[in-house]
Structure 1
Amino acid sequence: MSLPPLAEPVVLLSKAERARVARHRTLAGLGEEGQRRIASARIGVVGAGGLGSPVVLALVAAGVGELVVFDDDDVELSNLSRQVMHRRDDVGAPKTASAARVAAELSETRVVQVTDRLTRGNAHELLRGLPLVIDGTDSFDSREIVASACERLGIPSVWGTVQEYTGQVTVFWSAPPAGIEPVTLHDLYPKGTDAPACSVVGVFGPLCMQVGALMASEALKLVTGLGRPLLGRVALLDALAGTQREIPLRRARVSDAPAQTALPAPSGPPEVDAPGDRVVLDVREAWELAAEGIPGSLQAPFAAVVRDASGVVDRLGLRGRDIVVVCQVGVRARLAVDALRAQNVEAVVLRGGIKGWRARQKEHA
């Protein structure tokens, strides 16, 4: 379902800009008016790193009117394998300065540089007035800060993440147009979620460009009212398999959105506190299993389950068996259970993942 465009069109494009974006203006559905909406758009980009770099490049090339780029870091040499906006000469300079440079080189886009770190205390004020935010941060603490501010402001956020060879992209909006179900970060990941830093597990550089380009596309769709945004859907990208698929994202709780948009929360997959007699399927990665696990567990990586649940079920002999799915904190398990249940497999989630299970064991020790 298309949504109303977030941006009103500018009156005219400059002669030079009309020539520069000629291939955009000829696109069916976008056209001259859509390009004029892009030219009037004001978008916040939080993070000018692995995801923010391709986002900024794509939006500047598209001719977005103004980008407000937030990042308090300086460029490091180790950034350059995946943060494609920066150059060797930029090492030691603010990352936001690279955004200003590429904008001046590519288009008429204005870049506002914000080098203050977003915190729980200032994010709401710093993001106020932006119709749309793109979250390219690289830690769950930062993502929760950005998400909380966007939820309070009622503005949409395009969200993406990359870890190792896999990526995710979706759109969160706590107060979408009437009749559209609100979806927020905590419908996908519960509070307190964490993940290993990219410095520990690594990031496949080309995937950052792929995910960032998809995030930029989602932003332009919201600005122009074009196409069907990823609101209520999560795009899952697997660089090793060369695949992209999607999973529906349902509300895990009643949102704090205004009453006219609040809808009853659908029930999620069933959860249990302990495996009991069920077969345990661990959907974490090999490096996570090396740290701790449940004895006797079967293992299939999350990406493999959501990509080819039927194949995993047949390979592991899961048909006709009661399964409990476990990950680190429960989020991947929820999505994996949805994929397994679509194959008519009786599967439930181990509540809180390995962390929750360990904590309950300690409580009852």
Structure 2
Amino acid sequence: MNAERPSAGFPPLVEPGPELPPELVERYRRQITLPHIGAVGQRRIRSASVLVIGAGGLGSPVVHYLAGCGVGSLTIVDDDAVDLSNLHRQVIHGVDTLGEPKAESAARAVARLDPSIRVQPVNARVSAENVLDLVQGHDVIVDGSDNFATRYLVADASEITGVPVVWGAVLRRSGHVSVFWPGRGAHYRDVFPEPPGPAEAPSCAQAGVLGTLPGVIGTVMATQVLLLVTGTGSPLIGRLLVWDEATSTSRTLLTAPDPTRTRAAEIGPFPGSALCTAGAPGPQETVDPAALREILDAAAAGGPVPVLVDVREPWEFAAGALPGSVNVPLHTVLEHGVGALPAGDEVVLYCQGGVRSAQALAALRPAWTDREGRLRHLAGGYDGWQRG
């Protein structure tokens, strides 16, 4: 990847639909007035069908602005529910939709904005079994997912079907956007042949994110969709935009196809998947919320009392924790090992969602064999416990 260079023009992805009725002409008058959009461009936008993966931090502005600009058909895929901690950045949702599926909450927001838009919420996780079916029939994919398994699945489905992907990601103070269009520029696997390790790419819950950053990146992603649909401007094909929130600066890196890479012909495991699961807790090292409640009920009745260790940060622990648990942050566990934990015949590690506790268990496992007692982690973490 090298210095900045504008990409060449590309043909419109979508043929113009029928003439717009007067009420839509009035609604989109400010866009139609633009010479490079005009009535024909707006008809292309209205005929476009866009698949949006993720209705979270990036999906929120993408869905809102694509609907506002008149994209006629949106499919929104997300398997998560709206949580209070989402609302500072996932502004398409509100307190009135807490606990509801994000895909459905986002679909209702679209209906409030423009009930004439066709919107299909899909409350499911993207998988090897459903990704090709999800992609079929759409003009563009927007990948606003927050995990590498989904990103590689979407990338391979794009290469198989030929449907371009507008991809974005945020981490701490920086954001990235690019367009991956099979046969035109680099593929996601060309730029990211291997996923980073968990420590290199923590989630927003672990690393934190200012609420405005996904708004900036998501809006750029929505713009890329409109450029592709109308065939105007220079979309980020063969280029990777990097935005630094702290300095309010950006740079654009060139990307290129890897001639040695084998093109995707079927949906398979993403690179590094075996490595990523090699140290994951097994069934004997995992307890779910229901089973932990049974253990605690038995302890209240005179049975063995488990030691509950919260590996989150102190401020998270102070905001709410499992009854009787002790706080030993992950960085302390990683630095001091088993010596940082209280003794017990049954030790259960937990965090917010289960990622950090699994990491702590993997780090403690080698030395734990010399220590009496059982070590497990809570699947789903504190979030799963609260959901019951």
Q: TM-score, normalised by structure 1?
A: 0.67
SS in 1 for 2:175: strand
Q: How much does 1:175 deviate? A: 2.8
Correspondence 1:186-205 to 2 at 5 A: 186-194=189-197, 195-205=201-211
Matched, 1:31 2:31: no
Correspondence 1:1-365 to 2 at 5 A: 1-107=8-114, 108-176=116-184, 182-194=185-197, 195-254=201-260
Cα distance change on mapping 1:154 and 1:256 into 2, 3 Å? farther
Q: Contact between 1:155 and 1:175, CA under 8 Å: does it hold in 2?
A: no
- 1:155, 1:196 → 2: CA distance? 29
SS in 2 for 1:57: helix
Q: Contact between 1:99 and 1:111, CA under 8 Å: does it hold in 2?
A: no
Q: How much does 1:223 deviate? A: 0.4
- 1:255, 1:5 → 2: CA distance? 28
Q: How much does 1:257 deviate? A: 5.9
Q: Which amino acid aligns with 1:226?
A: T
SS in 2 for 1:16: helix
SS in 1 for 2:87: helix
Partner in structure 2 of residue 304 of structure 1: none
Q: Contact between 1:5 and 1:224, CA under 8 Å: does it hold in 2?
A: yes
Q: Which amino acid aligns with 1:249?
A: T
Structure 2 spans left out of the alignment, 5+ residues: 1-7, 265-330, 336-388
| 231-240 vs 137-146, greater mean Cα deviation | 137-146
User: Alpha carbon RMSD of aligned pairs, Å?
Assistant: 1.9
Cα distance change on mapping 1:254 and 1:29 into 2, 3 Å? farther
Q: Deviations over 1:253-304 (max 9, x none)?
A: 445569xxxxxxxxxxxxxxxxxxxxxxxxxxxxx9xx89xxxxxxxxxxxx
Q: How much does 1:62 deviate? A: 0.2
Q: Which amino acid aligns with 2:215?
A: M
Partner in structure 2 of residue 343 of structure 1: none
SS in 2 for 1:112: strand
List structure 1 runs of 4+ shifted beyond 6 angstroms: none
Structure 1 spans left out of the alignment, 5+ residues: 177-181, 259-287, 293-365
Cα distance change on mapping 1:30 and 1:256 into 2, 3 Å? farther
SS in 2 for 1:218: helix
Q: Which amino acid aligns with 1:185?
A: Y
- 2:204, 2:149 → 1: CA distance? 15
Q: Which amino acid aligns with 1:17?
A: L
Q: How much does 1:144 deviate? A: 1.0
- 1:130, 1:222 → 2: CA distance? 13
Q: How much does 1:193 deviate? A: 2.9
Q: TM-score, normalised by structure 2?
A: 0.64
Q: Contact between 1:174 and 1:256, CA under 8 Å: does it hold in 2?
A: no
SS in 1 for 2:82: coil
- 2:133, 2:194 → 1: CA distance? 22
SS in 2 for 1:81: coil
- 2:260, 2:32 → 1: CA distance? 41
Q: Contact between 2:104 and 2:123, CA under 8 Å: does it hold in 1?
A: no
**What is the identity percentage for the equivalent residue pairs of Structure 1 and Structure 2?**
43
SS in 1 for 2:20: coil
Q: Contact between 1:168 and 1:236, CA under 8 Å: does it hold in 2?
A: yes
Q: Contact between 2:51 and 2:141, CA under 8 Å: does it hold in 1?
A: yes
- 2:129, 2:13 → 1: CA distance? 27
- 2:54, 2:256 → 1: CA distance? 27
Cα distance change on mapping 1:19 and 1:256 into 2, 3 Å? farther
How many residue pairs match? The answer is: 257
Q: Contact between 2:89 and 2:210, CA under 8 Å: does it hold in 1?
A: yes
SS in 2 for 1:35: helix
